[in-house]
Chain A
Amino acid sequence: MNCQWQMGVLVMRECGMPAAAGCAICSRPICAAHTMMGQNGPACPGCAAHTAGYGENDDTEIAGARDQYYSQYGGATQFGSRGYFSRPDSASMAQRGLQQKPTQQRQYDDKET
């Protein structure tokens, strides 16, 4: 079985390397490069980014940012059904409750002309 972690933000695609373990949180197969070790056992970067007790690296940073961006524009509901995320990604997004969120307070004046 191959690693099902989806890399990227705009052009998401599966890693495809041979899987070495399964994510203890979302149970998708993951390769050694995408395995994050933490208090709940091996986890994929997406789950590690949202669970306490896991370290940070480029993959978790991208996974966290990707969830944040997509959740503001409909999240798993909007994108998952259109083939933007794999089924495990959509499921884990839904599981984490990453639905549409209000945008953050801006530091500049939107209305200024």
Chain B
Amino acid sequence: MKPDSYIERTNRPLQFYAVLFLIVLYVPVLFLPLFSFNDSIYVKFPLKSFTFQWYLELLDRAPVWASLMNSIKVAVTTSIIATGFGIFAAKAITRYRLPGRGPVVGFIMLPLVVPGIILGVALLVLISQLGIRLSLYTVTVGHIIVCLPFAIATMIPRFEGFDKSVEEASADLGENAWWTFWRVTFPMVFPGVLASLLLTFTVSFDEFIMAFFLSGSDATLPIYIWGQLRFPQAFPSILALASIILVVSFILVFLGQWINRGAGAGSLESTKNT
């Protein structure tokens, strides 16, 4: 279709709306970094002078570092396991004739839709009935369940995007299934794998609800922040911490989406039948 077709001709009001939409989407979040450089304990206008002191203050807070390390441990483990299982699941969903594929995919995508609190308390009930103590391991289990659908939805378009006959050619030329996977399939879907690692890392790193119900004495970073929200004097340095987390998350997600571009547009299509 020609871009200058009368159906798709530029629509000024709609363009204006779109820009406004993006501004409203981003501006509330941008107030966190803005006030994190403000030399006042109160988060309000007019702004006082510029300062780095809230960021410097973070460096001295031992619990921040401890919970940061906890979050990283959980997020790295979660992203590797969720992506690893996700590769096989995405391959199975796209490559094999599966009777009952619709319901199975819908079931796998459930954690995207079920309210977080219900998943959280259900897992908490299971874990406590099994007599397992809450720890970073239980948080990791919760995060794997939350992240698996994201991993699979990210990689499905990659598998759909390349021709099955390439794999068949490799098999015809004598490679067994294992080596076909490593020498043909894996390099072809690698951008999707990388994107999935980055996205699931971020989702796990930022995840709050599962961690809230399933963490024991070791807090993850979002849990630490939640605990600090009660103390007004901690507010500015929490703003600083939140700004750092947001910037890092935005970069990771942007990288992930960018690596996976071309395959990303339909990535939620697979979840549509849930």
Partners in one complex: no
B residues contacting A by CB (< 8 A) are none
